[in-house]
């Protein structure tokens, strides 16, 4: 029998899918979360999964697997670890270039798609017997749904779209079973983060802010040694440390360009 799994991001949509599966309204018993690392992922997301999502899944007979990325040597690798340990030479994330455009995005492919793909193939998925993978995309994000982006060993489907659900419908479903609302999942240093989210991190969570700044500093240190122009975590083309001050708000700009478009992140 072909595998049926759901891509679990730890956010509103995938938690909604978990609840619906527990109610028997969605036909998924296995949820896969690619773990990008406790030094990379929003720590509130990790805490939510450990304290709420995982116990809820277990109580309802669902399997929620947290999957790490491993190097060829068999060691666990995180996104932040890769950037810092390579002294910034392996950028990995879609950091903004000096011309204001985002660079290539390796993180989604190598730390999410490949990680869950390895698990699927190890459990029998193949081009001749593809696994079904549910994605947590809601009606208001229908532009992110693209079944043609499926890997050869999988078939993507979008059950929340089929139910006509929007992101705004998620809180009522999640709270209906007594679960608190999950935080928005994303890496601390994700360049796709909106400006007001950077501002909030700066104001409220200085440790996470410093971790993000260190990633940007490390990459730019590498580029400076090679005589290359700097890159940035925001489209403002200024170092993150120079952008924010307490009590001030940067003007909003269109920072949704090239946002995560395939449903693997921030769901």
User: What phi and psi values does residue 155 have, to the nearest 5 degrees?
Assistant: -130, 120
Identify the pLDDT of residue 258: 46
Mean pLDDT of the chain: 91
Q: Which of 7-11, 50-54, 140-144, 175-179 has the lowest mean pLDDT?
A: 140-144
Task: Give residues with Cβ within 8 angstroms of 12, minimum separation 6.
Answer: 167, 170, 171, 174, 181, 182, 184, 267
Mean pLDDT of 170-194: 95
Residue 166, in any domain of the structure:
yes
Per-residue model confidence as pLDDT tens digits over 57-75: 999 999 999 999 999 999 9
Q: Mean pLDDT highest for which of 54-68, 93-107, 236-250?
A: 54-68
Instruction: Report how many domains make up the chain.
Output: 1
List the structure tokens of 110.
């190598």
Residue 135, in any domain of the structure:
yes
Task: Give residues with Cβ within 8 angstroms of 13, minimum separation 6.
Answer: 136, 137, 138, 160, 167, 170, 267
Identify the pLDDT of residue 114: 96
Residue 188, in any domain of the structure:
no
Q: What's the burial of 76, exposed, middle or buried (CB within 10 Å: 0-12/13-18/19+)?
A: exposed
Identify the pLDDT of residue 100: 83
The whole domain housing 130 covers 4-95+106-175
CB neighbours (10 Å) of residue 164?
A: 9
Q: CATH number, domain at 39?
A: 3.40.50
Q: Which of 113-117, 158-162, 198-202, 215-219 has the lowest mean pLDDT?
A: 198-202
In the chain, the percentage of residues whose pLDDT exceeds 70 is 91
Identify the pLDDT of residue 153: 97
Identify the pLDDT of residue 264: 60
Mean pLDDT of 23-51: 96
User: What phi and psi values does residue 62 have, to the nearest 5 degrees?
Assistant: -100, 150
């Amino acid at each position: 029998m072909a595998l049926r799994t759901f891509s679990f991001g730890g956010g509103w949509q995938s938690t909604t899918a978990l609840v619906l599966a527990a109610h028997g309204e969605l036909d998924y018993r296995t949820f896969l979360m690619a773990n990008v690392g406790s030094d990379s992922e929003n720590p509130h997301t990790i805490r939510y999964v450990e304290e709420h999502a995982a116990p809820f899944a277990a109580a309802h007979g669902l399997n929620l697997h947290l999957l790490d990325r491993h190097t060829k040597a068999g060691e666990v690798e995180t996104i932040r670890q890769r950037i810092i340990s390579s002294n910034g030479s392996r950028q990995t994330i879609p950091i903004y270039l000096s011309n204001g455009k985002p660079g290539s995005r390796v993180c989604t492919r190598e730390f999410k798609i490949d990680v869950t793909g390895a698990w699927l193939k190890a459990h029998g998925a193949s081009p001749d017997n593809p696994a079904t993978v549910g994605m947590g995309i809601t009606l208001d994000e229908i532009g992110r749904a693209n079944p043609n982006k499926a890997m050869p060993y999988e078939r993507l489907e979008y059950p929340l779209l089929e139910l006509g659900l929007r992101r705004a419908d998620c809180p009522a479903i999640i709270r209906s079973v007594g679960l608190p609302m999950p935080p928005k999942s994303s890496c601390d240093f994700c360049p796709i983060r909106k400006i007001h989210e950077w501002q909030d991190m700066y104001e409220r969570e200085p440790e996470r802010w410093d971790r993000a700044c260190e990633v940007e500093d490390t990459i730019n240190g590498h580029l400076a040694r090679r005589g290359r122009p700097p890159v940035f975590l925001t489209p403002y083309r200024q170092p993150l440390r120079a952008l924010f001050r307490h009590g001030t708000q940067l003007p909003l700009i269109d920072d949704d360009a090239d946002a995560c478009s395939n449903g693997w992140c921030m769901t």
